[in-house]
Amino acid sequence: MGCCGGKKAPKKPPQQLHDEALAPDPDPGSKEPDPSTPHLFEEPDTTEIVPPVPPVQVNPPDFRIGLGALFPDFECRTTDGTFSFHSFLERQSHYGWTMLFSHPKDFTPVCTTELAMCTSLAEEFQRRSVQLIGLSCDSVDQHKGWTKDVLATKNVDPETTDEEELGFPLIADETREIASMLGMLDPLEICNVDRIAMPARALFLIGPDKRNRLTILYPATTGRNFSEVLRVIDSLHITHCGPEVGTPADWHFGEDVMPATNVAEDAFVDKAKEKPVPSGRRYMRHIPQPIMDSVQKIRPHAEVQPGDSDFRIKLGAKFPDFDWSATKQGINRFHHLLDRLKGDLTVMICWPRNFDPVATTELMGCLKFLPDLRQRRVSMIGMSCDGVESLGQWVKDAVSLSGSDEDSGFTMIADRNLNIAATLGLLPSDTAGHETCPARGLFVIGKDKTLRLSMQYPMTTGLNFAEILRVLDSLILTKDFKLATPANWQQRQRLLLDPKVSKTDASKFDNLAIQSLPSGKEYLRWVDCPKVKWFEEEVSPASPLDVEEWEPLSPPGKGQQEIRGKEPVEDKDAWCLSCGCGP
């Protein structure tokens, strides 16, 4: 069986059965609410801000923000000249990556700190064979003027440097053509000048085959953590170029990795550390990180055609309402479940299958994650594209490994027939009869049931739960205090005022400091982080490494297994590293 040969996409979505033992009360509406209890949920606001259609229309291809999606070609007018996007991708050989990241607008606070951070980390990206290209919805001339502010933020004297010292091009997209085509627009962020929606903070990591390998989609007020991006790139260097391994949740370079489930049990004699689990399955094995050559050919991603779901993963999109369980009492709808959970935000993580090593470490992370979520009034939902029976066994394995004395503590949905995965657009289309495998995704859903944030990592790269907690705190600070978090922000560090905050209101924040910039614009307004009760406890940083301390790829230490890099050999029966399916 070939790559991605695990499952077939459903033709029609029938009702999905769910284990009654794992499901919450199917009829929560049978009890009258206590009138003394404060209303945690308000009726969703039906008035939506619909951005005007951009003046120049693009006939968008069937591009979806998903792993394996082939990036469309388009003209790029940039600070480094005009060229096609595919020609820019082709500057990288079979050994390098391209990172495309969008910004809402020039001369805005969070965007400026992000560009400054990328400039500071330019050598780290180069060491990992990653070329950068940014996008913002302003002209090339404005980009060049903005560069001086960026360099000043980076503590570089703009008078002694040229305009191109950013080290990477910036695409001009005044009409939002490219941002609209790639699904980047954030309807919650409207430009005050032209009243058109601005792009979200979309980040794509693209392979030499022009296919998407990583997607991070943050709102305009949440600065990205580029140390986390470097961590994921380190993981991809090992998992997409070397032996068949995955990196567990919260992994950092130099730590143990996990062999794929199809790797023979005796493949790492005296090397693997195995953890027994109640199910009796032998899949939780850890081995020292392999030694990799500094230059490795990246495996091409299997061809993936876009799905036909009406739902597209973009900020502000209404999350689909689907049947997630059926019991004797009736059918439970997903929006009903969100109402029952009563979270200000809801985190939903989707896994392609049960008993996957990396996914199991993430499920363990979710169990440890719950107390932090409850403090923040955030709910949790898990979903696996496998059967109900094995789902219960898998949860018991994770509970045993995590040392928890309770069940999962949150709702787990079984999606054996892949109906929900297809509805969410996580499945490629099956027009040619090819078998498919669901992708993995993390979604943050707001109280109004719209998408606020999403991450799509390859199945071989475990999530970083400290990063998830960091972005949740950013969303909460934006909602409660009208604050924005700069690039690489960590809890309790100073914050930026949202541009919508007036000068009068700005003076009410503690220790307001306006940074002087060459443009003379006063948009970098720094304030102290508000006192939030969960910040009183020590919070693990999303990345333990600062810019100066970040280590480039290098051979692991003594005692780590030596597996020299080789050209990848195509094997139709091999385990698919990118999507996590098996033969």
Residue 303 confidence (pLDDT): 60
Across the chain, what does the average pLDDT equal? 78
Amino acid at 375: Q
Which conformational region is residue 345 in: left (phi greater than 0), alpha (psi within -120 to 50 degrees), or beta?
beta
Residue 152 confidence (pLDDT): 92
Amino acid at 98: T
pLDDT band at 401 (very low <50, low <70, confident <90, very high): very high
Residue ranges in 324-464 assigned as alpha helix (H): 334-341, 357-375, 388-402, 419-423
pLDDT band at 69 (very low <50, low <70, confident <90, very high): confident
Residue 350 confidence (pLDDT): 94
Residue 311 confidence (pLDDT): 59
Residue 295 confidence (pLDDT): 65
CA-closest candidate to residue 496, choices 481, 486, 508, 488 = 486
Classified as helix, coil or strand, 86 is helix
Residue 541 confidence (pLDDT): 62
Half-sphere exposure of 139 (CA within 13 A, CB side): 3
Q: How distant is the alpha carbon of residue 275 from its chain centre?
A: 29
**Is residue 158 predicted with pLDDT exceeding 60?**
no
Residue 557 confidence (pLDDT): 40
Least confident of 257-271, 412-426, 463-477: 257-271
| Longest pairwise C-alpha distance within the chain | 74
Residue 355 confidence (pLDDT): 94
Mean pLDDT confidence for 14-25: 39
Mean pLDDT confidence for 449-464: 93
What distance in Å separates the CA atoms of residue 196 and residue 19, rounded to the nearest whole number?
46
**Max avg pLDDT among 142-151, 269-278, 427-436:** 142-151
Half-sphere exposure of 535 (CA within 13 A, CB side): 14
**Max avg pLDDT among 37-41, 176-180, 475-479:** 475-479
What distance in Å separates the CA atoms of residue 429 and residue 1, rounded to the nearest whole number?
19
pLDDT band at 363 (very low <50, low <70, confident <90, very high): very high
**Is residue 50 predicted with pLDDT exceeding 50?**
no
- Contact present, 363 and 394 (Cβ < 8 Å): yes
Residues known to be catalytic: 111, 209
Q: How distant is the alpha carbon of residue 370 from its chain centre?
A: 19
Count of residues making up the chain:
583
Residue 198 confidence (pLDDT): 64
What distance in Å separates the CA atoms of residue 441 and residue 231, rounded to the nearest whole number?
18
**Is residue 558 predicted with pLDDT exceeding 70?**
no
What distance in Å separates the CA atoms of residue 351 and residue 338, rounded to the nearest whole number?
19
At 402-437, the pLDDT tens digits run 987 656 689 999 998 888 988 887 775 443 433 445
More confident residue, 557 or 326: 326
What distance in Å separates the CA atoms of residue 323 and residue 336, rounded to the nearest whole number?
10
At 99-121, the pLDDT tens digits run 999 988 899 999 999 999 999 99
At 491-526, the pLDDT tens digits run 999 999 999 899 999 999 999 999 999 999 999 999
**Is residue 41 predicted with pLDDT exceeding 60?**
no
**Max avg pLDDT among 157-161, 300-304, 396-400:** 396-400
Torsion angle of alpha carbons 180, 182, 185, 186, nearest 10°?
160
Structure pTM?
0.79
SS3 content of the chain, % helix, strand, coil (to 5): 25, 20, 55
| SS3 assignment for 275-320 | CCCCCCCCCCEEECCCCCCCCCCCCCCCCCCCCCCCCCCCCCCECC
Give the Cβ contact number of residue 365 at 10 Å: 21
- Contact present, 352 and 581 (Cβ < 8 Å): yes
